[in-house]
Structure 1
Amino acid sequence: MVKTEIKETLIDLDKKHFIHPTSSLKQQQETGAPFIFTEGKGVYLTDISGKKVLEGMASLWNVNVGYGRKELAEAAREQMEKLAFTNSFSSMGNEPAIRLAAKLAELTPGDLNAVFFTSSGSESNDTAYKLARYYWKIQGSPEKTKIISRKKGYHGVNIGATSATGITPFQEMTSSLAPDFLHVDTFSTESLRKCIEIEGPDKIAAFIAEPVQGAGGVNIAPDGYFQEIRKICDENNILFIADEVITGFGRTGKMFACEHYGIVPDIMLLAKGITSGYIPLGAVVVTDRIHKDLIKYSEGVLLHGYTYSGHATACAVALKNIEIIEKESLIENSRLMGKELLDGFYKIQKEIDIVGEVRTLGLIGAVEIINPVTNTRFPAHIAPKVSAEAAKRGLIIRTVVFEGMDTLVFSPPLVINQKEIEELLSILREALLAVQNSL
């Protein structure tokens, strides 16, 4: 078969058998997959037709070290040949999981030193809610069950994580959300204080927030916000959970985004960049205080765990992935290239009328689309049109078009260089101009 015939066959099989996550099922049936990728190298992907595109999102915010890293494939192969998997129940262990837990304790700020492994960010979130409630329960405060999160926050798609997510369409997908989840205004410490006052601190287990909201529009906290959040949680005996699933492992120009604010959460959630997406893995890291209290007050078995918690091969890949991040100074590259990306956004903002606010923190960023006449959002969303034009020209980006937003978001691999940043900006400029000229 020639490639065209293979592609047509795959599209047909795709329509019949593959239910895609977070996708339009109708559009899948009508148009088929826009891309069927077959190869990746650095910041580029190549589809079955041979088209090469720059991945401006590192897939789902996660391919931090870029595509095609043979070191990670070799790490997986070596571990699989020795011990691919063994469960971690009943206190059993394996070397990669133990060494990765120790490495995470070394990397995470403050006294975040004990690790529970999961397979994803959603699992990390649900684990954190259960552990927070269990933590208070075994200390004689079983009524502390409520979890406060923020509007526009995204925490995953398990039932608990969906309930914590503050983006309305995700919640409306199900008719049965989990109880005891509350939402406050995104950057209002006063909103949090008021919620605590109304509910009572003796009823609240934890407050959870992304240091930078990702899927909610790349919303970066104002100065002093998280310092005040830390203070509020301490004053009210509430655990502070930092969801670093997107922001961890160099994405923001620091190893973890909490470091920008000089704070240490009680619980930190990890996934995505921990393996750069080469194999599923997540983690929940807790402070020494929480770990010691769990040991002191718990009795019997901690009845929470996933089949693949502490998966040997996944942990081996994570260790090699972290080694690459450190050896190649990708955190510093994230900071430097993030500045170049922001400078490019500013230039585009001055030239193109429909570009509103632009922002980055390291290599995570956003470009708002506005109507230059009214300085407000267009009646119909424009960002998806820009994304479609960018894809035609060889750039993959995402859009956020809910909760009153019309936003382009960016999160390229941390290996991106100056030339590739210029290519990304050039394609973005062309796509924006094409859409602006069509309005």
Structure 2
Amino acid sequence: MQRNPNIQDDLSELDRIHFLHPTSSIQQQQQHGPAFIFTRGEGIHLYDLSGKKMIDGMSSLWNVNIGHGRQELGKVAKEQMSTLAFSSNFATFSNEPAIRLAKKLADISPGDLQSTFFTSGGSEANDTAYKLARHYWILKGQPNRKKIISRTKSYHGVAIGATSATGLKPFRDFTNSLAPDFLHVNYHSSNSLRELIEKEGPDTIAAFISEPVQGAGGVHLAPLNYFKEVKKLCEEYDILFITDEVITGFGRTGTYFGIEHDKVVPDMMCFAKGVTSGYAQLGGVMLSKKIHKVFTDMSTGTLLHGYTYSGHPMACAVALKNIEIIESECLIENTKRIGKELLDGLKLLQKNHAVIGEVRGKGLMGAIEFDHTVTASPIAPLIVNEAVKRGLICRSVVFDGQDTLVMAPPLIITKEELYHILDILDDCIHAVKETM
């Protein structure tokens, strides 16, 4: 249903004046207003104020795993808010949804990950992991172990610690005062990790953190056996291994968590996004039995870390229903099946377009990297713009000299809907090539 154009004009003007958008061009917002003002979502689609229908090819921010418009989650949220909308979990206070979600997470997570510290989102989860890792070593009598190693091309969020860990330089250049003791290592080389550990001294390093698949950095998959080699190095040097599953968790790669593909169990695991499919703000850090035991056995005072909304009852109730839907609708199995179709479709595009240098993907995460020897300047942003004209939202990555288009549709997507996306991309690449 279309609305009065004056309403859109009024909202656009209010947006320009009052709404400072995250990760957006301020100049573009000021000149043109918001690109879309969305009012409704259904399945894999979003609808804006003018009634335009868009395919959400990114699951918004890699997070709307079960799709838009799921009234089941709204019903659960209403029921929980009507009984206990919020209560603090400080000072050992608790609530039933948080307890039950923590138990469910232990049931579905790899290995002996058994306890959860809840946050409001991914950046908080990663910052929490760094603090808990450093506190772990303080309890163990090794306070000099405080350095955190991450990979180049990684993205771990935008809180000050998360920004410092992020391996995409433009995010670090945004601020002039990064947190100390963060190091970055080549994203594809376990040997370079060993070299850095030896250079810095193992007794100065608290933890190594990595995404199982680097999402915002361009959907980069690690080489075969990389994580087994990394885990072995961490065990050899007694360094904690943290996985950042903020994007890759809750079915996105075709397993519950991305690291399961490598049959490796981390010491800590960060999550957010898909835990509620974006219907409520929630994240967390899971601790292995070993790490949890050190905290319970060796702590003598208060754990002086926590967020107001840690273990928020409504958010946890929504998460439980979201996980129930993922399981009852076999969305992880659907991701495996449609993910293979996605990768095959990207390979066909590569065969048909010489401008494509590489395609890659795992589950419902896919990337098209364009060949710099064929294109004089990045074309991924141009293709994204063409896709918007045709009703598809996807994303370009031009950090670190990349020219990449990425996509991550909701896990509910059908084969027919996927083929429609691929047809749109084919048409967009043709359109951009004609202008070259």
TM-score normalised according to structure 1 size: 0.98
State how far apart, in whole Å, the 2-side matches of 1:419 and 1:359 are.
Answer: 21
Q: Which amino acid aligns with 1:117?
A: F
- Post-superposition Cα deviations, 1:34-85, rounded to whole Å, max 9, x if no partner, equal 1111110000001111110111000000000000000000010010111001
Whether 1:387 aligns to 2:375 is no
Q: How does 1:358-437 map to 2 (within 5 A)?
A: 358-371=359-372, 374=373, 378-437=375-434
State how far apart, in whole Å, the 2-side matches of 1:237 and 1:3 are.
Answer: 63
Q: Is the 8 A contact 1:167 1:216 kept in 2?
A: yes
State how far apart, in whole Å, the 2-side matches of 1:164 and 1:140 are.
Answer: 24
State how far apart, in whole Å, the 2-side matches of 1:356 and 1:43 are.
Answer: 28
User: Which residue is equivalent to 1:220?
Assistant: 221
State how far apart, in whole Å, the 2-side matches of 1:167 and 1:3 are.
Answer: 42
Q: Which amino acid aligns with 1:37?
A: F
Q: Is the 8 A contact 1:114 1:285 kept in 2?
A: yes
User: Which residue is equivalent to 2:143?
Assistant: 142
CA shift, 1:5, in A, is 1.1
State how far apart, in whole Å, the 2-side matches of 1:276 and 1:379 are.
Answer: 39
CA shift, 1:176, in A, is 0.2
Secondary structure of residue in 2 paired with 1:280: coil
State how far apart, in whole Å, the 1-side matches of 2:288 and 2:78 are.
Answer: 33
- Post-superposition Cα deviations, 1:164-215, rounded to whole Å, max 9, x if no partner, equal 0010100000000000000000010111000000110000000000000001
Give unmatched runs, 5+ long, in structure 1. none
User: Which residue is equivalent to 1:52?
Assistant: 53
CA shift, 1:139, in A, is 1.1
Q: How does 1:24-423 map to 2 (within 5 A)?
A: 24-371=25-372, 374=373, 378-423=375-420
Q: Which amino acid aligns with 1:211?
A: P
CA shift, 1:3, in A, is 2.5
State how far apart, in whole Å, the 2-side matches of 1:391 and 1:335 are.
Answer: 27
Give unmatched runs, 5+ long, in structure 2. none
Q: Which amino acid aligns with 2:193?
A: L
Q: Which amino acid aligns with 1:78?
A: E
Q: Which amino acid aligns with 2:82?
A: E
Q: Which amino acid aligns with 1:347?
A: L
- Post-superposition Cα deviations, 1:386-431, rounded to whole Å, max 9, x if no partner, equal 0000000000001100101000001000000011001111111111
State how far apart, in whole Å, the 2-side matches of 1:401 and 1:349 are.
Answer: 19
Q: Which amino acid aligns with 1:399?
A: S
State how far apart, in whole Å, the 2-side matches of 1:431 and 1:360 are.
Answer: 20
Q: Is the 8 A contact 1:120 1:281 kept in 2?
A: yes
Q: How many residues are treated as equivalent by the alignment? A: 435
Secondary structure of residue in 2 paired with 1:27: helix
CA shift, 1:2, in A, is 4.6
CA RMSD, 1 decimal: 0.9
Q: Which amino acid aligns with 1:437?
A: E
User: Which residue is equivalent to 1:13?
Assistant: 14
State how far apart, in whole Å, the 1-side matches of 2:366 and 2:8 are.
Answer: 33
Secondary structure of residue in 2 paired with 1:307: coil
Q: Is the 8 A contact 1:3 1:48 kept in 2?
A: no
CA shift, 1:276, in A, is 0.1
CA shift, 1:348, in A, is 1.2
CA shift, 1:296, in A, is 1.0
Quick one: percent identity of the two aligned structures? 59
Q: Is the 8 A contact 2:3 2:49 kept in 1?
A: no
Secondary structure of residue in 2 paired with 1:368: strand
Q: Which amino acid aligns with 2:158?
A: V
Q: Is the 8 A contact 1:274 1:321 kept in 2?
A: yes
CA shift, 1:234, in A, is 0.2
State how far apart, in whole Å, the 1-side matches of 2:135 and 2:34 are.
Answer: 44
User: Which residue is equivalent to 1:22?
Assistant: 23
Q: Is the 8 A contact 2:3 2:50 kept in 1?
A: no
Q: Is the 8 A contact 2:254 2:335 kept in 1?
A: yes
Given the superposition, is the C-alpha separation of residues 261 and 288 from structure 1 closer, same or farther in structure 2, using an over 3 Å criterion?
A: same
Structure 1 residue ranges (4+ consecutive) displaced by more than 6 angstroms after TM superposition: none
State how far apart, in whole Å, the 1-side matches of 2:169 and 2:182 are.
Answer: 14
State how far apart, in whole Å, the 2-side matches of 1:179 and 1:3 are.
Answer: 52
CA shift, 1:244, in A, is 0.3
TM-score normalised according to structure 2 size: 0.99
Q: Which amino acid aligns with 1:241?
A: I
CA shift, 1:380, in A, is 2.1
Q: Is the 8 A contact 2:77 2:315 kept in 1?
A: yes
